[in-house]
């Protein structure tokens, strides 16, 4: 298994290009199942999760052609010949469940494996099932698979979700585009990836209003047509690289970044004394006055502080001046990076969903283990600012969500290399 070796090397400077959003691309790709005509995505990120979704769609009969070094994905679901999303693929990635809504809408039936346990929490599917059931689907669990059918086709309905789940909102949004009549989804998630999905579906001929607010109205249409859509900027990759100069000092311009994607996060950076400036090409972050100040953070659905930036923010707080509390409200087990950061000298106490951090002046390099995607990058960020060498093991998690991380950080002056293991 490969490792990444990072050696603290002082301030960073330069420009870093931000890729298309993994989480947007993972919901845009299954949208191809809604139409017989081709869907082409541009600005796709080059990640192993995208390969997994490609494999899943191909198993359903979709043709996927990857062009421009993986940044353009041309898909055609003209000849769907399978309606079963197999456990062997679904277990690799929870987002595989996003084929459920579109398959049900297009074919009237779908069989999708339950994703199984996930390191950061239970992550059940009840909100997806409740919402699709409200649209007339009959769903039962047999042998670890959800068997869904809509004998007379899906029908529009008014449905309020108990929690604004991102994935459930995406599944319903896709399913409702081809349902008969009007669907009103209340307490919908408001993430930018949902707006991006709605933009793509509208380009395919769907009638959707209210995306980006908590009430989305979808007027079903008979068919969707082909389209070409550009994937929105990855706000999590953006926030992650904005933290690099915040942790190491220096000045970095994140190309393609926009404040509206990371508003709540930028407010916290401002409180911590990190300057963020909008430029013609993105966002420029500078930290020239020594250590950041400790700030309390609570994760919330968008537009709140994203759970997917909590681990990286903790890396910053480990060397900030003062004490702070990080509260995780989305996932129940998302502090697995804390004990690893403690191996580097961080002072952290975890009690259930909260972590208290007392900033230390300097972290020290150590061997650490990546436990999930965002935890992996938080350890790399911490390593960039630590004294000596940090070896991050199990970096395959990183390949799921960060493309060319070594090249991108090296360009800013970081000392970082990837070594292959057995
Ligand atoms: C998406 C993102 C993930 C991000 C998360 C929250 C993708 C591919 N992944 O995941 O990176 O961390 O949003 O911003 O876009 N829940 C239920 N029942 C359900 C569905 C969810 O109880 O049926 C719970 C989950 O266990 C979790 C919370 O709701 O505690 C949030 O989950 P959800 O918003 O659905 O996240 P995902 O779509 O899985």
Sheet holding 367-369, edge to edge: 367-369, 389-393, 3-7, 415-419
| 3 state SS of 149 | strand
Interstrand relation of 297-298 and 323-327 (parallel, antiparallel or unpaired): parallel
Q: How high is the mean pLDDT of the chain?
A: 95
Cα–ligand 1 centroid distance for 164 (angstroms):
9
**Mutate which of 24, 167, 195 to test ligand 1's pocket (most atoms within 8 Å of Cβ)?**
167
pLDDT of residue 1: 83
CA dihedral angle for residue 2, residue 384, residue 298, residue 125, rounded to 10 degrees: -10
pLDDT class for 122, splitting at 50, 70, 90? Answer: low
Residue 152's φ and ψ, nearest 5 degrees, are: -95, 15
Longest Cα separation, the chain:
65
- Determine phi and psi for 401, rounding to 5 degrees: -135, -5
**What are 101's two structure tokens?**
């809504």
What is the side-by-side strand order in the sheet with 182-186? 158-160, 182-186, 215-219, 207-209
pLDDT band at 422 (very low <50, low <70, confident <90, very high): low
Q: What is the pLDDT of residue 277?
A: 97
Closest by Cα among 194, 129, 186, 128 to 157 = 186
Residues with CB under 6 A from ligand 1: 23, 26, 94-95, 121-128, 163, 165-168, 307-308, 330-331
Q: How far apart are CA 212 and CA 216, in angstroms?
A: 8
Using CA positions, which residue lies closest to atom 37 of ligand 1?
Answer: 167
Confidence band for 288, pLDDT divided at 50, 70 and 90: confident
Using 50, 70 and 90 to split pLDDT, how confident is the model at 142?
very high
Q: Average of pLDDT values for 280-303?
A: 94
Q: Which residue has its alpha carbon closest to ligand 1 atom 1?
A: 166
**Which atom number of ligand 1 is nearest to the Cα of residue 189?**
34
Q: How far is the CA of 207 from the centre of ligand 1 (A)?
A: 25
Question: Residue with the nearest Cα to atom 7 of ligand 1?
Answer: 23
Most ligand 1 atoms within 8 A of CB, residue of 123, 240, 310, 397 to mutate: 123
Mean pLDDT of 248-275: 97
Which residue has the least CA distance to atom 35 on ligand 1? Answer: 165
| 333 pLDDT tier (thresholds 50, 70, 90) | confident
> Average of pLDDT values for 383-394?
95
- Ramachandran assignment for 70, one of left (phi > 0), alpha (psi -120 to 50 degrees), beta (any other): left
Q: Is 68 exposed, middle or buried (0-12, 13-18, 19+ CB in 10 A)?
A: exposed
Predicted confidence band at 69 (pLDDT cuts at 50, 70, 90)?
very high
pLDDT surpasses 60 at 120: no
pLDDT for 4 equals: 96
**What ligand 1 atom has the least distance to the C-alpha of 49?**
8
Hunting for tokens 């349902």 — which residue is that? 179
pLDDT over threshold 70, residue 118: no
Mean pLDDT of 56-79: 97
Query: Averaged over 47-69, what is the pLDDT?
Result: 97
Ligand 1 atom index nearest CA of 94: 39
**What is the 388 CA–ligand 1 centroid distance (Å)?**
37
Catalytic: which of 118, 248, 287, 324? 118
254: annotated active-site residue = no
Instruction: Determine the atom of ligand 1 nearest the C-alpha atom of 308.
Output: 12
Tell me the average pLDDT across 68-85. 95
Count of C-beta atoms within a 10 Å radius of residue 384 = 27
- Would you say how long the chain is, in residues? 422
Which atom of ligand 1 is least distant from the CA of 301?
14
20 burial level (CB within 10 Å; 0-12, 13-18, 19+): buried
**Residue 116, pLDDT score:** 65
68 Cα to the center of ligand 1, angstroms: 31
Pocket test for ligand 1, best of 118, 166, 309 (most atoms within 8 A of CB): 166
Q: Which residue has the tokens 């990857």?
A: 66
Lowest mean per-residue pLDDT among 16-20, 32-36, 149-153: 149-153
Q: Tell me how far the alpha carbon of residue 120 lies from the centroid of ligand 1, in angstroms.
A: 10
The pLDDT, as a whole number, for residue 119 is 57
- Does the structure show a pLDDT above 90 at 123? no
pTM for the structure as a whole: 0.97
Percent of the chain's residues with pLDDT above 70: 98
Distance 167 CA to ligand 1 centre (A): 6
pLDDT band at 229 (very low <50, low <70, confident <90, very high): very high
Nearest CA to ligand 1 atom 22: 124
The residue whose C-alpha atom lies closest to atom 32 belonging to ligand 1 is 165
Task: For 199-218, write each residue's pLDDT tens digit.
Answer: 999 999 999 999 999 999 99
């Amino acid at each position: 298994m490969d490792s990444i070796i990072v050696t603290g090397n002082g301030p960073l400077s330069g420009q870093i290009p931000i890729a298309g959003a993994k989480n947007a691309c993972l919901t845009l790709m299954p949208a191809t199942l809604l139409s017989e005509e081709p869907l082409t995505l541009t600005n796709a990120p080059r990640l192993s999760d995208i390969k997994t979704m490609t494999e899943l769609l191909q198993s359903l009969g979709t043709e996927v052609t990857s062009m421009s070094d993986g940044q353009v994905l041309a898909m055609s679901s003209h000849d769907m010949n399978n309606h079963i999303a197999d456990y062997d693929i679904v277990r690799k990635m929870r987002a595989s469940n996003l084929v459920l809504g579109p398959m049900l809408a297009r074919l009237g039936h779908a069989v999708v494996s339950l994703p199984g346990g996930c390191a950061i929490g239970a992550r059940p599917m009840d909100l997806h099932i409740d919402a699709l059931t409200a649209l007339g689907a009959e769903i039962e669990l047999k042998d670890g698979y959800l068997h869904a059918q809509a004998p007379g086709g899906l029908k529009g309905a008014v449905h309020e979700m108990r929690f604004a789940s991102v994935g459930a909102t995406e599944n319903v949004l896709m399913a409702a585009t081809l349902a008969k009549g009007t669907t009103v989804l209340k307490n919908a998630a408001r993430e930018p990836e949902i707006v991006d999905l709605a933009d793509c579906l509208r380009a395919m001929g769907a009638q959707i209003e209210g995306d980006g607010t908590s009430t989305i109205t979808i007027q079903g249409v008979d068919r969707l047509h082909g389209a070409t859509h550009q994937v929105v900027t990855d706000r999590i990759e953006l926030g992650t690289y904005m933290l690099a100069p915040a942790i190491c000092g220096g000045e970095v311009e994140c190309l393609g970044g926009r404040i509206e994607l990371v508003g709540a996060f930028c407010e916290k950076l401002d409180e911590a004394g990190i300057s963020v400036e909008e430029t013609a090409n993105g966002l420029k972050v500078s930290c020239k006055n020594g250590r950041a100040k400790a700030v309390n953070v609570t994760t919330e659905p968008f537009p709140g502080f994203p759970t997917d930036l909590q681990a990286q923010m903790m890396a910053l707080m480990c060397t900030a001046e003062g004490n702070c509390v990080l509260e995780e409200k989305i996932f129940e087990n998302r502090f697995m990076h804390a004990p690893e950061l403690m191996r580097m000298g961080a002072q952290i106490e975890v009690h259930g969903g909260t972590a208290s951090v007392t900033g230390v002046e300097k972290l020290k390099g150590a061997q650490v283990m990546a436990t999930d995607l965002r935890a992996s990058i938080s350890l790399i960020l911490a390593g960039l600012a630590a004294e000596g060498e940090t070896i991050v093991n199990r970096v395959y998690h990183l390949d799921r969500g960060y493309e060319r991380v070594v090249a991108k950080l090296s360009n800013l002056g970081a000392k970082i290399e990837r070594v292959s293991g057995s």
